[in-house]
Amino acid sequence: MIEDPIIRIHDAFIMKLYGAFLLKFISDSHRHTYAAPQEIRSKHKMETPFLPGHKCYYYTNGEREYYDGYAGSKWAPGREVVLLRGRPEWAMSYQGQHNESYPDGFFENEVFPFLKKALMNFDESTPFRGPPSLEEGDFKYLFVIDGDYKYFTARESIFHKDTEKFFQDVMGGLIK
């Protein structure tokens, strides 16, 4: 059987268009949830978390829904899921920890606010965490990714004065 090049081009175009819509929705979700300014974030924080002991966020637009839930603060594993018409479409998990030789106040007052700033400055083509690199004062954020929205693994790190203070391993992709 001979493969029709028009069908192949059509399928590639549809997949590219599909990916663009999904990435736009993930971007919009991140602009409204965890890292968003308080007045926006508070509208999307779930009063009753979908998992006990978690902090959870919900965002919807059109036929897609976004859920993000994490537990803990020092070691805070979490998962984001996108649903299309009520069916799981895409997911991302993250797990990491911070350098416990520093006081909690350092993370609450300096590291996590810097993390939120990085998360709001993501690259539109990979809106899963922050940009590849962001520096401000003594802080540096790095996001190293391998793959794309269909399947990826990544590592997110925050350095302060050239010492890693926080990291997360990240993986995600389409649900088929």
What is the number of alpha carbons within 13 Å of residue 118 lying toward its C-beta?
24
Q: Summarize pLDDT for 74-128 with one digit per residue, the tens.
A: 788 999 999 999 999 999 999 998 888 888 889 899 999 999 999 999 998 999 9
Extents of the domains making up the chain: 5-174
Q: What is the mean pLDDT of residues 116-143?
A: 96
CA-to-CA distance for 152 and 9, rounded, in angstroms?
24
Torsion of CA 136, 77, 40, 149, to 10 degrees: 80
The predicted pLDDT at position 102 comes to 87
Return the minimum-mean-pLDDT range out of 3-17, 46-60, 124-138, 151-165. 3-17
Q: Which is more confidently placed, 66 or 18?
A: 66
Given a cut of 60, is residue 10 above it in pLDDT?
no
- Say what the pLDDT of residue 72 is: 87
Task: Give the pLDDT score at 99.
Answer: 86
| pLDDT, average across residues 148-175 | 96
**pLDDT at 4 exceeding the cut of 90:** no
Answer for the pair 134, 115: CB distance below 8 angstroms, yes or no: no
> What's the rounded mean pLDDT across residues 148-165?
96
pLDDT of residue 3: 66
For the entire predicted model, the pTM comes to 0.89
CB 45 within 8 A of CB 34: no
What secondary structure letter does DSSP report for 111? I
Mean pLDDT of 147-157: 97
Q: pLDDT tens across 26-65, in order? A: 999 999 999 999 999 999 999 999 889 999 999 999 999 9
The values of phi and psi at residue 63, to 5°, are: -90, 0
- The reported pLDDT for the residue numbered 5 is 63
